[in-house]
Amino acid sequence: MRGIAADADSSLGVVQHHFGNKEGLRDACDDYVLDFFREQVTRGRDLGQVQQPSISNEVFVRAPAVLRYLGRALAEGSPGVVPLFDELVSMTEDHLSQRPDVSDPRGDAAVFVAMRLGVYTLHGHLSRALGVEAFAPESLRRISASLLEIIAPEFLGTEAHRAAWDGMEPPASAESEEEPRREDHE
């Protein structure tokens, strides 16, 4: 707790006052991560929002700390990520259940969420393989583009897939070789 207070440029008393103990602080972090993902899923359901590059850019800037925490919590089996995993599976299952061509929406949803969250758990290996820090905003954009290339448009729905690609446009000031390969999907 002393180290956390020092990293936060605060005092131990202030941290203890707000969170009680280390478990209370972990619960607050878990709640923040869950709220962050709920917000992103809500935005992802609104195709008008997901296709706006400004929304994706905001996520790429905010996400690194959240994703680092999530990766560690997933690897450690933190009880705080159980509701997140279950909620993501349920939301994905609801989406897939509306499609007549999906024979096992629950199974597909569980495997998809595990694969998607695995990127965060294995970020160290991913960073090494890519030769860049996986949680840097430009790397997150690259990883997201790769995920969109791997996922069949039919899995998300063609309109949602296209909207996600539209939202992947890099900020106007970014001139990067790591830009998404959107032209392949128009």
| Helix orientation angle between 22-45 and 81-97, rounded to the nearest 10 degrees | 20
Parse the chain into domains and list their residue ranges. Answer: 2-170+177-185
According to the CATH classification, is domain 2-170+177-185 in 1.20.120? no
Spatial separation of the C-alpha atoms in residues 81 and 70, rounded to whole Å: 8
Spatial separation of the C-alpha atoms in residues 115 and 126, rounded to whole Å: 13
pTM of full prediction above 0.85: no
Per-residue pLDDT of the chain (186 residues; tens, 9 = 90+): 888 888 889 898 998 999 999 889 888 888 888 888 778 777 766 555 444 555 555 666 777 888 888 888 888 888 888 888 898 899 889 888 888 888 999 999 999 889 888 888 998 999 999 999 988 877 888 888 888 888 877 777 777 777 777 777 665 544 444 445 445 544
Separation in Å, CA 116 to CA 27, 84, 110: 23, 13, 10
